[in-house]
Chains A and B, each alone.
Chain A
């Protein structure tokens, strides 16, 4: 174990996987010569050469589409779409093509490819750089979506994604870019689809992921009178139903906290599943906390208010636990 920054963990995963498997290639804008807009691909060009590490013309549709073609030819492309917001430009290639190639070729073709994007939420980058679009991606059958909130998970999930035989979307948090934590050197894979219980508790289950996870951790430290179980989903799709449902069966209460707008979000999927599967154990209505139904603002003080901050999370925890069923 070494203390490693979030971006360095991503960088290590890329170095290790490229060294392990010759079919792994990296393409994207600014990934080669400067080592990535935020250094995630630093040193790859020097270690693996311009054949396997390529800067591309400025076209996300072409980057993703060409990666899919390369995947059909047997490569394992890891493409970088600089900000999650820019995948909108490549949505046909992601949604209609990569996610469906296995299904539409009777399994004869597969797309063992990874798309990495930064989510810059919380870094005052405004409406077209700071969107949390995981629900869009998770809504597409055929596509897996992962999002590590710690350096160790960012690394392990990226490695798992590269080894996966289908398309995986890997979201990375710019807000955590310089966060340091212990990371294993070499092999440690977090299987796709497995959540992490960050904190055990009895009264309430909080499910979170991505950019919201660190703020949930802060909030839980501030709560003393409620025993909170915190689950970091890590994989958005397919999500770890067993861990979440098991926890809610124990606590009887669920709060979902995410940075995306609440409406039509991943929280709704979890809430609906819990409502169905845990009907008998629920002691309070399932609650969701996220951003208002509005685009992300530029201003730091506005964005701080826009995203669920620790104070808002602790209040929601208290509110959920204090809700009592009317006797009828």
Chain B
């Protein structure tokens, strides 16, 4: 509709009608349907250059990864319920997005996670017991980011996207981009959520990445919710379309399709390593669990929605594909189940065995070098503790 006031024609300013944010839309890259059928996509393929057997082996590996990280999630949730963890942020429903993205990485790539990236941590080889340490509160995050090129969990929403850009600028300056050497060229991944896409930091990260053509992939898991807020509170257009305004490509991929996520991420990461700059990948998925173990989603969303998404379960579709095409037998599936059981046991035992921190640890690592002031405070506190019964105080 246009109106004219004093000759101004507002009709010239109308936008396209708002897209239905709850429809994945035709732009969605999908290679495996919820029913487990392989489909082709004009631009992205999974397993190019692999033999049929290699491809099947890959997909079995994805299935195993997803089954195991789901088990990790279930186990950690149970540990929290039993009072062994202070909190847990569930990844339930986001296994394909995380395994697809995680398995597309090369060893030299670097990942900046949110607090929910347990599946990516898994792919990077971070011991899940170390993740439990953080949620148990025995430390503030004790895995060495440099050991697996997997950064620390970020709690203040969106901050890590800027770190990713800065890291990528460093990689670029070090000349680890566009050399053609597959062992050397490096990409950086910034993980974030649909809610985080509203933060200033995240949008500023986009600007910087574009301005410097930084080798970074912005991987947004649009799980439809930011605690209680639905996606339409954050955006009027599909998130991947925002990339265009910042000057780099955006893609929406089915985040419950591990093959598509892997294919799209492989392309985006290679683009970064080749020196062609940033890409925004929106993994369209769903947070099937609560925001964290302290949240009760029945306060704000209908169970209908969850039921709909259960039909798109990321693990079931891979299992259906593998079984239907005779790529797995019962023995394989049973073996994965056993492995999951063993992982569960290992996590329970590992969690219980985590050493309690010492009270005096509070004074350490505050500064790069211990200051005189803190050393004094530490000694003073130790002396104070010594005035109590030894066991009672420590």
The chain A residues found within 8 Å of chain B, CB to CB, are 29-30, 33-35, 37, 55-59, 61-62, 85-86, 88-89, 124-129, 292-295, 297-302, 305-306, 312
- On whether the beta carbons of B228 and A33 are closer than 8 Å, the reply is yes
* Shortest 5 CB-CB contacts between residues of A and residues of B: A298-B137, A57-B198, A34-B228, A58-B195, A34-B299
Write out the residue numbers on chain B whose beta carbons fall within 8 Å of the beta carbon of A312: 384
Q: Flag whether B139 is at the interface (Cβ < 8 A).
A: yes
Nearest CB in chain A to that of B388: its residue: A311
Q: A30-B227, A297-B137, A297-B362 are in contact. List 6 more A-B contacts (CB 8 A).
A: A57-B195, A59-B199, A89-B200, A127-B140, A305-B381, A306-B362
Is the interface on chain B under 10, 10 to 19, 20 to 34, or 35 or more residues?
35 or more
- On whether the beta carbons of B363 and A124 are closer than 8 Å, the reply is no
29 contacts between A and B (CB under 8 A): A29-B229, A30-B227, A34-B299, A55-B233, A56-B233, A57-B229, A58-B196, A59-B198, A59-B199, A61-B200, A62-B198, A85-B156, A89-B156, A89-B199, A126-B137, A126-B140, A127-B140, A128-B156, A293-B377, A295-B366, A297-B140, A298-B86, A298-B134, A298-B137, A298-B138, A299-B138, A299-B356, A301-B356, A312-B384
* Interface membership of chain B positions 205-249, coded 1 if the CB is closer than 8 angstroms to chain A and 0 otherwise: 000000000000000000000111100011000000000000000
Nearest-CB distance from B152 to chain A (Å)? 11
- Docked Cα-Cα span, A299 to B141, in Å, equals 12
- Docked Cα-Cα span, A118 to B384, in Å, equals 31
- Docked Cα-Cα span, A62 to B198, in Å, equals 9
- On whether the beta carbons of A129 and B86 are closer than 8 Å, the reply is no
Q: Flag whether B359 is at the interface (Cβ < 8 A).
A: yes
| Neighbour of B363 across the interface among A55, A58, A292, A300, CB < 8 A | A292
Question: Which residues of B (310-338) have their CB < 8 Å from a CB of A?
Answer: none
Write out the residue numbers on chain A whose beta carbons fall within 8 Å of the beta carbon of B139: 298
Indicate whether A129 sits within 8 Å of B155 (C-beta atoms), given known contacts A55-B229, A89-B201, A293-B366: yes
Nearest-CB distance from B57 to chain A (Å)? 41
Nearest CB in chain B to that of A90: its residue: B200
- On whether the beta carbons of B140 and A30 are closer than 8 Å, the reply is no
Indicate whether A294 sits within 8 Å of B227 (C-beta atoms), given known contacts A59-B198, A128-B156: no
- On whether the beta carbons of B137 and A30 are closer than 8 Å, the reply is no
| Neighbour of A293 across the interface among B229, B234, B357, B373, CB < 8 A | B373
Nearest CB in chain A to that of B226: its residue: A58
The chain B residues found within 8 Å of chain A, CB to CB, are 86, 134, 137-140, 155-158, 195-196, 198-201, 226-229, 233-234, 299-300, 356-357, 359, 361-363, 366, 373-374, 377, 381, 384
- Docked Cα-Cα span, A65 to B357, in Å, equals 41
Nearest-CB distance from B350 to chain A (Å)? 17
Nearest-CB distance from B194 to chain A (Å)? 9
- On whether the beta carbons of A58 and B229 are closer than 8 Å, the reply is yes
Nearest-CB distance from A133 to chain B (Å)? 13
Nearest-CB distance from B289 to chain A (Å)? 16
- On whether the beta carbons of A292 and B377 are closer than 8 Å, the reply is yes
- Docked Cα-Cα span, A78 to B281, in Å, equals 36
- Docked Cα-Cα span, A327 to B91, in Å, equals 68
- Docked Cα-Cα span, A124 to B83, in Å, equals 13
Nearest-CB distance from A326 to chain B (Å)? 22
Nearest CB in chain B to that of A262: its residue: B377
- On whether the beta carbons of B234 and A57 are closer than 8 Å, the reply is yes
